[in-house]
Structure 1
Amino acid sequence: MNRIFFAIVFACSFLFNGHAQEPYQFTTVIDLDTTPVISQGITGTCWSFSTSSFLESEIMRISGKNIDLSEMYNVRNTYPKKAWNYVMRQGKAQFSEGGLAHDVINSMRDHGLVPNQVYTGLEAGADKHNHSEMVAVIKAMLDTYIENPGRELSPNWQLAVSKVLDVYLGEVPQQFKYEGKDYDPKSFLAMTGLDPNDYVSITSFAHLPYYKQSILNIPDNFSNGSFYNLPLDEFMEVIDQALAKGYTISLDCDVSERGFSSKNGVAIVPEDSSLTPKAWTAIYPELEIDQDLRQAQFESYSTTDDHLMHITGLVKDQQGNRYYKVKNSWGTAEDRTAFGGYVYFSESYMRLKSISLMIHRDALPKSIANKLMF
């Protein structure tokens, strides 16, 4: 009798202390329309892949059309702006492959859109993107201009940057056919039904005034984009209400965390961080996240602006815990992802490690939209 009693106590203690937990069993709660997962290749252009995916879902929502947009068209139109910023700031700015969701919206507003079949941005014979050499070449050119202050800048320096981009990515199309009709980039944008003015960026940090727009000082915000700042609970409410109303969301987040595992398809924040590897495959208690902890991790660089992705739905585990279904752009290889290129973000992970969102303004809850100074 005593042996049985102690065996039960031991087993319960073993489970309670987190050494043996239930493997995840996920069921779908919300699953919104989106295009297939693809790969950004060996590039830092997640900002264009994720936001293009977001816009593709927006086109589906607005018109029901399934259009594969060119990610590299946005990239091609953004590099000259990065080069100008870098040179005018005399090299005291970041020139890199990174960017943010609003850079795609700016490109769309200024240059329109084109389908991927018209502009792939791939060199002849290549089957994946690799911008390492291209970026190194352009940066070396820009540094040469900057490091020779005794000479005036050649009036052709911007043209030279443009020509390098053309060599590596291809010349941008001015006219093209799509499904038998003639378009230019602006008329193609009009056909999609997208309006660049419909999209707003949201963040949540205590050092910024709430309900107002502020520039978020992170390295990839070279274009000084502004974000509406919300308290954390309302930031999360925006995500939940948007998904419930059928709107997907572009997400900027931190993925350089032990809790993020693309291979296992989950992103979590265990209460006991030593259990993180186990929590990739089984349910463990998670840390409660408030505004103060979120702020502290941001200010200490524990939370950094690493990666942009696309929130397309919601799932739950067998205990009722909710996870956001987040589309990645690292392909679908089975050795890299458990869920076909998606990662399930726990609520704790989203509260702690998200940086910002981009959504259609109609997706905002009215109670929150009324507080913002549009």
Structure 2
Amino acid sequence: MGSSPSRPEESTAEYNEKNSVHAATAQLSSMSLRAAKSANGTLSLSNVSDWETDAEADPKAQLARTILNHSDIRSALISRGALVADPHVFNHEIDFKTGPVTSQKSSGRCWLFATTNVARYSVMQKLNLKDFQLSQSYLFFWDKLNKANYYLESSIELADRPLDDRTVYTLATDLINDGGQWDMAVNLLLNYGVVPQSLYPESLHSSLTGPLNTLLKTKLREDALILRRLSQTLKAQSLAPEVITSTLRAEKERLMQEVYNVMTATLGVPPMPDQKFTWEYYDADGKVGTFTGTPVEFFEKYAAKPYHPKDSFSLVNDPRNEYSKLYTVDKLGNVWGARPVLYVNTEIENMKAAVVKMIKAGQPVFFGCDVGQSSDSASGIMDTALFKYESAFDITLGLTKAERLQVSESAMTHAMVITAVHLDANGKPVRYKVENSWGDAVGDKGYFLMSDAWFEEFVFQVVVPRAFAPKKLVEVYDGGDPSVYPVWDPMGALA
């Protein structure tokens, strides 16, 4: 991405490994030392017998066994108190309502749905539309095609490294993920624009992406080996570097044509970003409207205001590393040579304050989170107090946010849109309203509630226009020279 990889610095303000070591030492000092029953570390039946004796004498354990062996622990242990404490009521909400609630179906395209759900606010307001969707499939096609090209270009660039090199291996593991990041969405918007969904509707394989992804991954891994072998052959001939690169890219283009043919057969031929289309529509008053222009022109005219996506950037909360500093992720992107993925790491309170400012100004907020943690789809509630696992099993679940990142317990897995916030009498956030992309059969007609405590623990990113970001963080973003996460770091996860 234009920077040499380096290890991001640890934050001395929020996370200090020595503190954890001291805490662990203090805990050990309070424990009575005893000899293990298994000298070689195998599972001892003597241990199991003792554990069972203790469990049989524990009424809580017996009650748990009675109930939980035939019940889903998520529904059985959901907290009634949390459900009561989390009403879907918000005192600061974006006035303009969009619709319908969208559904990404059996795909990992949440980031494209979040992007288009944000962008359609402007389109619907300008054109006075009641229900409207931008084509998520259109952006999906161009993203997937570009990711294939990105992977093959990376394979050329890394052709001299062994196949078991950690970077090479990681790139080959999940090379064309459905997911993405905000900067990757901006690359698509700037290069390809947007179109109404009716002009490039869903297909079976945009809504059910697994079969297509499996085929493309097999094809691209084979293509990568073809390029690596060709690279070795060309370098053995002592050709000029520019000749080698040109020859490799010519072969890559031949291979990419095969990828394109697979994609157009399964997804359909998309509108070209530089070719005009005509779209006719009814507005909310029943009047007929018409637009003629290119996808890029449609984007710039209707979806790029009042705050252009290229002028928004990601604030992230990674307590492992230094705050007020710029970061990027090595080899993470979709459009080769375009805008890199950039994060400004900051305290969680700065992210909350930016969200509140945006909602009060009528602007929806794209954000990335770990949606599977302490959340319930049926009720549409995300709250750290939602499940009573600790009480039911007499265990402690006490990982910090930093520790969850360190041990692969948490990462940015999903992107959604914040559309409202509820503030207490002191102006502090209590809960947030979230527009999801899982259809209207979940949550509160497709909308979720996120508690402030959940925000602190499981939100990693909010995307903020420069006008709403703290000045010092804008200066960090403009300053450039990011520290580089390795490609396998959890902050390189794709929502």
Superposition TM-score, scaled by structure 2 size: 0.61
Given the superposition, is the C-alpha separation of residues 161 and 55 from structure 1 closer, same or farther in structure 2, using an over 3 Å criterion? same
Paired position in structure 2 for 1:270: 385
Structure-to-structure mapping, 1:1-374, within 5 angstroms: 21=81, 23-24=84-85, 25-32=87-94, 33=96, 34-59=98-123, 63=126, 65-66=128-129, 67-90=132-155, 92=169, 93=171, 94-95=174-175, 96-123=177-204, 129-148=207-226, 149-151=228-230, 153=251, 155-173=253-271, 174-179=275-280, 180-194=290-304, 195-216=308-329, 224-257=340-373, 259-270=374-385, 273-274=388-389, 293-315=400-422, 322-333=430-441, 337-365=442-470, 369=474, 373=478
Question: What's the CA shift for 1:88?
Answer: 3.2
Q: Secondary structure at the match of 2:314?
A: strand
Question: What's the CA shift for 1:273?
Answer: 4.9
Q: Secondary structure at the match of 1:28?
A: coil
Q: Secondary structure at the match of 1:156?
A: helix
Given the superposition, is the C-alpha separation of residues 75 and 20 from structure 1 closer, same or farther in structure 2, using an over 3 Å criterion? closer
Given the superposition, is the C-alpha separation of residues 88 and 369 from structure 1 closer, same or farther in structure 2, using an over 3 Å criterion? closer
Paired position in structure 1 for 2:158: none
Q: Which amino acid aligns with 2:229?
A: G
Q: Which amino acid aligns with 2:270?
A: V
Question: What's the CA shift for 1:64?
Answer: 6.5
Given the superposition, is the C-alpha separation of residues 132 and 19 from structure 1 closer, same or farther in structure 2, using an over 3 Å criterion? closer
CA contact (8 A) 1:98 1:220 kept: no
Q: Secondary structure at the match of 1:27?
A: coil
Q: Which amino acid aligns with 2:468?
A: A
CA contact (8 A) 2:103 2:439 kept: yes
Q: What is the distance in 1 between the residues matched to 2:457 and 2:123?
A: 30
Number of residue pairs the alignment of both structures matches: 335
Q: Secondary structure at the match of 2:134?
A: coil
Question: What's the CA shift for 1:312?
Answer: 0.8
- For residues 246-271 of structure 1, the C-alpha deviation after alignment (integer angstroms, 9 at most, x for no partner) is 221111110122x1111111001129
Q: What is the distance in 2 between the residues matched to 1:306 and 1:321?
A: 23
Q: What is the distance in 2 between the residues matched to 1:48 and 1:196?
A: 13
Percent of aligned pairs sharing the same letter: 20
Question: What's the CA shift for 1:368?
Answer: 5.2
Deviates more, 1:339-348 or 1:90-99: 90-99
Q: Secondary structure at the match of 1:134?
A: helix
Question: What is the aligned-residue RMSD (CA, Å)?
Answer: 3.3
Q: Which amino acid aligns with 1:113?
A: V
Structure (1 or 2) with the greater helix fraction: 2
Superposition TM-score, scaled by structure 1 size: 0.79
Larger radius of gyration: 2
CA contact (8 A) 1:201 1:357 kept: yes
Q: Secondary structure at the match of 1:322?
A: strand
Q: Secondary structure at the match of 2:371?
A: coil
Given the superposition, is the C-alpha separation of residues 332 and 26 from structure 1 closer, same or farther in structure 2, using an over 3 Å criterion? closer
CA contact (8 A) 2:382 2:451 kept: yes
Q: What is the distance in 2 between the residues matched to 1:154 and 1:272?
A: 51
In structure 1, stretches of 5+ residues that fail to align are 1-17, 278-286
CA contact (8 A) 1:243 1:313 kept: yes
Given the superposition, is the C-alpha separation of residues 137 and 313 from structure 1 closer, same or farther in structure 2, using an over 3 Å criterion? same
- For residues 2-27 of structure 1, the C-alpha deviation after alignment (integer angstroms, 9 at most, x for no partner) is xxxxxxxxxxxxxxxx9874724442
CA contact (8 A) 2:138 2:270 kept: yes
- For residues 283-330 of structure 1, the C-alpha deviation after alignment (integer angstroms, 9 at most, x for no partner) is xxxx9x9xx93222222222212111111112479xx98211111111
Given the superposition, is the C-alpha separation of residues 27 and 20 from structure 1 closer, same or farther in structure 2, using an over 3 Å criterion? closer
Q: What is the distance in 2 between the residues matched to 1:20 and 1:117?
A: 43
Deviates more, 1:76-85 or 1:267-276: 267-276
Q: What is the distance in 2 between the residues matched to 1:65 and 1:105?
A: 25
Q: Which amino acid aligns with 1:196?
A: P
Deviates more, 1:204-213 or 1:32-41: 204-213
Deviates more, 1:172-181 or 1:303-312: 172-181
Q: Secondary structure at the match of 1:40?
A: coil
Q: What is the distance in 2 between the residues matched to 1:330 and 1:361?
A: 30
CA contact (8 A) 2:90 2:433 kept: no
Q: Secondary structure at the match of 1:23?
A: helix
Given the superposition, is the C-alpha separation of residues 57 and 79 from structure 1 closer, same or farther in structure 2, using an over 3 Å criterion? same
Paired position in structure 1 for 2:159: none
In structure 2, stretches of 5+ residues that fail to align are 1-77, 156-167, 231-247, 281-289, 480-495
Given the superposition, is the C-alpha separation of residues 348 and 48 from structure 1 closer, same or farther in structure 2, using an over 3 Å criterion? same
Given the superposition, is the C-alpha separation of residues 26 and 46 from structure 1 closer, same or farther in structure 2, using an over 3 Å criterion? closer
Q: Secondary structure at the match of 1:89?
A: helix
Given the superposition, is the C-alpha separation of residues 229 and 321 from structure 1 closer, same or farther in structure 2, using an over 3 Å criterion? closer
Given the superposition, is the C-alpha separation of residues 275 and 346 from structure 1 closer, same or farther in structure 2, using an over 3 Å criterion? farther
Q: Which amino acid aligns with 1:103?
A: M
